[in-house]
């Protein structure tokens, strides 16, 4: 990838930095509000649980698994969204992009939980920040494994 590719074209500022910034903003300013607290997400859990053919878990347990599982999935995605501009746009090494990506996910996760302490009916929890970091770490390990197996770097897939 040339310097001109890094500074313009399909890997411009917006296409690289906007997705992780938007997700981070949504996590902190929308999903941390009272509207996304446990009592408001319970109807969704009830609906999904009603579709579950095997009643292996009770609704309360299922609701908890659903909410905590969201942390893992959301922060796996967030890591990937941070990793791309760090690696492709800034050209950081795999190790540095990984550490920065995990650090940014940790920062957003801590910000999200801090915002929850300000929302009525919400409680910020250190355990959720740990789950967020675990989700990001899962994605980081997958990226490392795929990179070591010779998968192309982001941005190299369409190049001849």
Tokens of 50: 């009603």
Cα 119 from Cα 117, distance rounded (Å): 6
**pLDDT by 10s per residue, the chain, length 160:** 444 444 444 557 778 899 999 989 888 887 777 777 767 777 777 777 777 655 656 777 777 888 888 899 999 999 999 999 999 889 999 999 999 999 999 999 999 999 989 888 888 899 999 999 999 999 999 999 998 888 665 555 554 4
pTM: 0.77
Task: Give me the long-range contacts of 81-85 (CB less than 8 A, separation at least 24).
Answer: 81/19, 81/20, 81/23, 82/20, 83/139, 83/140, 83/143, 83/154, 84/16, 84/154, 85/16, 85/17, 85/20
Q: Residue 140: what are its φ and ψ, rounded to 5°?
A: -65, -40
Give CA 77 to chain center in angstroms.
4
């Amino acid at each position: 990838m040339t310097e001109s590719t890094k500074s313009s074209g399909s890997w411009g500022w917006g296409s690289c930095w906007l997705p992780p910034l938007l997700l981070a903003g949504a996590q902190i300013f929308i999903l941390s509000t009272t509207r996304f607290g446990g009592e408001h997400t319970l109807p969704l859990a009830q609906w999904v649980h009603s579709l579950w053919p095997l009643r292996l878990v009770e609704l309360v347990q299922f609701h908890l698994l659903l909410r905590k599982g969201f942390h893992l999935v959301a922060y796996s995605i967030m890591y990937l969204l941070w990793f791309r501009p760090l690696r492709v746009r800034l050209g950081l090494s795999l190790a540095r992009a990984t550490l920065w990506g995990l650090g940014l996910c940790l920062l957003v996760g801590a910000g999200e939980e801090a915002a929850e302490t300000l929302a009525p009916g919400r409680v910020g929890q250190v355990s959720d920040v740990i789950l967020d970091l675990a989700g990001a770490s899962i994605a980081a390990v997958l990226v490392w494994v795929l990179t070591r197996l010779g998968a192309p770097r982001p941005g190299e897939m369409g190049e001849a």
